[in-house]
Structure 1
């Protein structure tokens, strides 16, 4: 076993022996219908499984989020309240994924605030003290350029990229370095940078390049290098609109191996950025950081690889190798054998390639081969045969679509020898096989998309939504969850709900655990949680590792709590769907039950900070103990109650004596005095609501009666509530 792996396993085993299985998290934002985010998470989940770690996914699926407003990031940042010990021991972050919503400095400060939590980044943004798992752009561009220059002898290059993308600007710099290294002069007006990656901007860039250079027959430009498959695919499409063929007139290359490049008119030669491998490596580096928190870790580079396809002027390796192997196949030359003998032999060999097809189907395929050779009609008869096969295969789990590429290679080895003496037939059949490969790839992609998107395509989703909408109480919502989670492929849930709507993720009661926990755990419910990170691990699966996604429950800017949804279905959109349905149902129930009185919404941070002394803020970073924010948050959540030190100490998991001592150290006040001052600040806000009477305000703030409230208010402000309101409402 690798020494590093052995060391990690030994450390993790020792932790479990002490009753502590390491828990890691992942934070980032992406469109998880894109394979990049899917591959990152798949790599992390595989590493978490291999190393027996708990995994909490804090990712925000931006394309699935049905917010009532457009300020997505403000909601997502609430999730950062969970990204601390003891809930997690370390965090993999995708810092640059937030750059679409925040400026770079804000992203850096947001993640830096999580220190000293061990973190590893998989993005391109430099965050102080956080090592990264990255690809080497310089090496990757050098591999592309070496191939283009050494294999194709290209020397006339252009570059189209996006000026707002930091990685793409880095790749442009590497492109210039490679030109210098090979002694190639940059052609004037050969670098075009777009303001965005939209199809419109890329089309404009292509038109600019065409206005500067003749792109036909590789006369002035032989190859257009792009830093993204999305750009490469769009460039190829635009070139075709101008009658410029890729790669005959000009070659094009991409970067990052996205689906766009695979399905381009000419499949794009690109760089595979090893997303799965990087996700896996990020977890291993995070374990190393957790093991040795005092060590300084450097950024680690993961090797990329060149994927040669057709846009550069090559054929795929499988195609090349198939041609090389064809010489070892039986020679079906029509000159040496009758067509009948060729058909019979071909029939037998095709049956071996497609063992699941009956004789009638095989005979149709053989007939389509000869129709394509002699008639060369469009669309190809073989293409139609494969289309029918793929459509039927989607209903037959005994056949795996991904195996079809090998079947096409085998079929090609049989058929090309038949036409090798006729260049026209040979070229036509090569085109047919390219179409077959593209068709199979498309069907595989459709099936992959369907597996990720089935949440929104499920026939019973509307019924599930109706069941949630029909719930008229918290118990009915819990019953719906019991019956419907399994329908959506979600194995379990840990659900925590606040007593009332709040303006933030606040104190909540853990009310539901599915599957039902043992009796000794069940009897602890409902369990009060003062901070999300303080939820005891006993409420998660104890006999096995867990993998969950955190969903914060809210309707517009009103919050109800949060849920840990156990990962079953790999489709991340399904968990956002549950959030949406559950949040809408909770909103209706909370309104119906009158649970809309916010205890803290009117009390601003400035008001709270105005009460606390400067010394209390300086001591806020005191480690290993309760913080001032925990004390004030708790008291604000209980403004309508009398001060209860015993209950507060229990809820905050500290001794009463420690709570009293630390409160005085941190705030300069006793608990009772601080609670009173917070109530008076809230009273000032409520006095400005003209519809509220003094008696109602006193009741809301937990005072015994109106007179006692007035007495306490005057003691703290120097005037009666009515006098204060009269002065401040002018």
Structure 2
């Protein structure tokens, strides 16, 4: 049972008084520019602020940089070395975020092994020993279907989702359940589950299939299409539009997630808001409860979601539906009982309250624009032009506030739309679209502001300049001096840097070599001391007698490691910290190489004789091709250079600028083996060398050779050698 806020704060205050302020961590993988991960982190950081506890972000960010590491997952796995007491008292985990990189069984084991550390997971997977905070998908779909059935009286439904997503499969199950509960039949051919990612071409194919199976005009055969994601819904609406099918007049379309696409869709989406911020906040509260009461049984809490009603289902939003009621800011009665002049004066007063920084002349122009849009219906909305000018003028003197403008639009709609209560529905929907365009314009302005802030030319140029300074650094002191300056420029309050004496494939045993600001006199004795295990890192370096939030970054160059850094978090733009990590790592590599601090792994590198013994060329047509000059040497060289990666036929074909089929055929001719088999055998030969060196545990060999997990590596090794790695070692020691 959840504790009261007062009970949590009393426990945390006692810990703080004893000098053991609670510290929690977060781990998960996501495109951290995307709002989901950022909303989770915002919610967690707000909860940590409110409860006065520390926060360490160990999340990994992917797909936001041109400099993404090919073998990203192996670097990310190093973060798990930090996820123990005393560095953290508990972890909020997002296990499902690893689904793209690992099999579910391996993910569950990975996160389950964090026990007995208190953990709370915010994904959809069941993690042994972890309390779980899941969305209530059943009530979410129920509220969506109830609205469509009870408010709109829809009876004929279709569903579009992707079969590779477990949450989307669950949404399909809940959809089918709601059909049954409401006495409705699933129409044959009305469910389309893509066996692909949510990419535009696959979504288009799914909606093409629906449009081929059914007449989607005027709700003849389908009333509404339920989609498992706003991304699917928004792209689907575009595809329907290309076919001349209008949403919602021909067919309603609804989404799920309340993503950016829900507001910017051609028809703003009725959707389910998964309240990521609230869930991040609640996950911290649940974790505090678990830390306070470790013997409490594992809980699974289902978090309620919000139904967001917009235009795509056929609804008018609240400000429209309230037209003519006392709840509207200007009642219908007052509209009809007063003269046009009195009405206009009242509108000016109310509009002035909405836009207090606009002149009377500007407000008058807005009202003229409104009536012109309603009755003249020009190609370009005058009201939208007015609003655009208002925002541009606002940005000249103030920091742009998207929430302010979104609220202003809602209030303005509530003021103006009741005037149209006697007009035909088409006029109301026409004005709805204009207000929707206003909302989209705010979103675009906000996006530009975000990009301008993130990619400020001065800041980017400054980072470029610092990159040059980093690369010109001749020693560690020069690197540290550059780092001090760059942290100040990027408004990052501080950093603690742990570096090893040399760079190697194994995760290092580093020493604390640098702090910014400089370590206090009390901490000077800890400088240059080794940290035997990452989770034993002395938290005193973060403390400074106050609560802290820090970002962990593991420092590496290719597949070799220097150490790690904890950056004090001010911005939640995770890309900022990763850019610094990349620049710092490249500079360290240059200095370490110059000073001979890199441990080259020549003792286990493949020898030419090992490669040659694998080659059994076909007797037919083994001459190299003059056009591509694809030779045994080039193919094996490429595969040897990419032993850390899984075999990607398309990527290899692209490298040699040949087709996939040609590559496969040529590999057989040149080596007697398929590309996949050749790559696998080269990996096993490398594994033998690494086993002989006795420097690497099986888990690290598996990771360094691009296998999904240690068990899979062992199975492949035995398939190729007839022995398990351990037994092979016994026979070859």
Shorter-chain TM-score tier:
0.7 to 0.9
Could you say which residue in structure 2 is the equivalent of 1:175?
Answer: 175
Q: Is the 8 A contact 2:237 2:266 kept in 1?
A: yes
**What is aligned with 1:712?**
none
SS for the counterpart of 1:560 is strand
Q: CA deviation at 1:377?
A: 1.0
Deviations 1:465-521 (A, max 9, x none): 223222221001111111110211211000011111111321111011111232231
Distance in 2 (CA, whole Å) between partners of 1:453 and 1:218 is 46
Moved more, 411-420 or 17-26: 411-420
CA 129–539 in structure 1, closer or farther in 2 if over 3 Å, else same = same
1:495 to 487, 494, 497: 497
After superposition, the Cα gap between the structure-2 partners of 1:415 and 1:276, relative to the gap in structure 1 and judged at 3 Å, is closer
Q: 2:331 aligned to 323, 328, 331, which one?
A: 328
**Any conservation in 2 of the 1:44–1:282 contact (CA below 8 Å)?**
yes
Instruction: Give per-residue Cα distances to partners, 1:201-244, cap 9 Å, x unaligned.
Output: 11111111111111111111101111111111111111111111
Instruction: Give distance in 2, aligned partners of 1:686 and 1:294.
Output: 42
Partner of 1:377: 378
Separation in structure 2 between the aligned mates of residue 377 and residue 587 of structure 1, nearest angstrom: 62
Whether the aligned pair in 1 keeps the contact of 2:62 and 2:68 (CA below 8 Å) is no
- In the alignment, which of 522, 528, 531 is matched to residue 529 of structure 1? 531
For the 8 Å contact 2:319–2:414, the answer to whether it is kept is no
Aligned match of 1:59: 59
Instruction: Say whether 1:263 aligns with 2:249.
Output: no
* SS of aligned partner of 2:91: strand
Q: Shift of residue 434 of structure 1?
A: 3.0
Q: How does 1:218-297 map to 2 (within 5 A)?
A: 218-297=219-298
Aligned-pair CA distance for 1:82: 1.0
Aligned equivalent of 1:723 = none
TM-score, normalising length: structure 1: 0.78
Q: Which residue of 2 aligns with 1:547?
A: 549
Counterpart CA distance in 1 for 2:330 and 2:367 is 21
Gap regions ≥5 residues in structure 2: 606-688, 696-731
The equivalent residue for 2:317 is 316
Counterpart-to-counterpart distance in 2, 1:135 and 1:201: 27
Query: When the two structures are aligned, how many residues end up with a matched partner?
Result: 609
Q: Which moves more between the two structures, 518-527 or 221-230?
A: 518-527
* Alignment of 1:39 onto 2:39: yes
Contact residue 324 and residue 418 of structure 2 kept, 8 A: no
**Is the contact made by 1:136 and 1:303 (CA closer than 8 Å) also made in structure 2?**
yes
CA 1:34/1:419 → structure 2, altered by over 3 Å: closer, same or farther? Answer: same
Q: CA 1:287–1:82 in 2, change beyond 3 Å: closer, same or farther?
A: same
- After superposition, where does 1:512-661 map in structure 2 within 5 Å? 512-597=514-599
Verify: 1:463 aligned to 2:472, yes or no.
Answer: no
* Counterpart Cα distance in 2 of 1:218 and 1:379: 30
> 8 Å contact 1:64–1:576 — kept in the other structure?
no
Q: Deviations over 1:432-486 (max 9, x none)?
A: 2332233224333443565566699745332232232222210011111111102
Conserved? CA contact 1:233–1:260, under 8 Å: yes
Following the alignment from structure 1 to structure 2, what is the Cα–Cα distance between the partners of residues 684 and 273? Answer: 52
Partner of 1:717: none
Q: Distance in 2 between matches of 1:601 and 1:116?
A: 40
Q: For residues 298 and 3 of structure 1, do their structure 2 counterparts lie closer, same or farther at Cα, with a shift above 3 Å needed? A: closer
SS of alignment partner, residue 276 of structure 1: helix
Shift of 1:274: 1.4
Give the Å deviation of 1:268: 1.0
Match of 2:184 in 1: 184
Q: Which deviations, in whole Å up to 9, do the C-alpha atoms of 1:118-162 show, x marking residues without a partner?
A: 111101111111120011111111111111111111110111110
* Counterpart secondary structure, 2:144: helix
Question: Could you report, residue by residue, the CA deviation over 1:250-278 in whole angstroms, capped at 9, with x for unpaired residues?
Answer: 11111111111221111111111111111
Q: Residues 422 and 93 (structure 1 numbering): CA distance in 2 closer, same or farther, change over 3 Å?
A: closer
Q: Is the 8 A contact 1:506 1:561 kept in 2?
A: yes
Give the Cα–Cα distance (whole angstroms) in 2 for the partners of residues 398 and 96 of structure 1. 37
What CA distance in whole angstroms lies between the structure 2 residues aligned with 1:232 and 1:306?
16
Displacement of 1:77 in angstroms is 0.5
Measured at CA, do residues 288 and 428 of structure 1 come closer, stay the same or move farther in structure 2, by a change above 3 Å?
closer
Q: TM-score, normalised by structure 2?
A: 0.78
Distance (whole Å) between structure 2 residues aligned to residue 161 and residue 495 of structure 1:
45
Cα offsets for 1:537-586 (capped at 9, x unmatched): 22222411111010011111121111000001121111111111111111
What is the CA–CA distance in structure 2 between the aligned matches of 1:455 and 1:509, rounded to whole Å? Answer: 36
Do structure 1's residue 214 and structure 2's residue 239 form an aligned pair?
no
Aligned to 2:626: none
Find the aligned partners of 1:272 and 1:593 in 2 and give their Cα distance. Answer: 55
Alpha-carbon distance in 2 for matches of 1:198, 1:587: 38
Structure 2 match to 1:476: 478
CA contact (8 A) 2:470 2:584 kept: yes
Instruction: Please give the alpha-carbon distance, in whole angstroms, between the structure 2 residues aligned to 1:429 and 1:165.
Output: 38
8 Å Cα contact 1:507/1:530 also seen in 2: yes
When structure 1 is superposed on structure 2, of 4-13 and 275-284 the one drifting more is 4-13
> How far apart are the structure 2 equivalents of 1:587 and 1:306?
52
**Cα separation, partners in 2 of 1:128 and 1:454, compared to 1, 3 Å:** farther
- For 1:338 and 1:223, the matched residues in 2 are separated by 41
**CA 1:290 to 1:347, structure 2 compared with 1: closer, same or farther past 3 Å?**
closer
Name the stretch that deviates more: 408-417 or 478-487: 408-417
How far, CA to CA, are the matches of 1:352 and 1:54 in structure 2? 42
Aligned residue number for residue 709 of structure 1: none
The CA distance in 2 between the partners of 1:410 and 1:554, in whole Å, is 52
Matched, 1:396 2:397: yes
CA 1:577–1:179: 2 relative to 1, 3 Å: same
Cα 1:239–1:338 shift into 2, 3 Å: closer
Task: State the match for 2:633 in structure 1.
Answer: none
Distance change in 2, residues 1:382/1:511 (3 Å): same
Q: 1:93 to 1:534 in 2, by over 3 A?
A: same
C-alpha deviations, 1:272-320, integer Å up to 9, x for none?
1111111111111111222222221211111111111111111222332
Q: Over residues 600-638 of structure 1, what are the superposed CA-to-partner deviations in whole Å (9 max), with x where a residue is unaligned?
A: 89699xxxxxxxxxxxxxxxxxxxxxxxxxxxxxxxxxx
Other-structure match for 2:141: 141
Distance 1:516 1:427, change over 3 A: same
Q: Identify the range of structure 1 (215-224 vs 360-369) with the bigger mean alpha-carbon deviation.
A: 360-369
Taking the aligned partners of 2:491 and 2:44, their CA distance within structure 1 comes to 21
Q: What is the match of residue 11 of structure 2? A: 11
Per the TM alignment, residue 392 of structure 1 is displaced from its structure 2 partner at its CA by: 2.8
Match of 2:446 in 1: 444
Distance in 2, matches of 1:425 and 1:188, equals 37
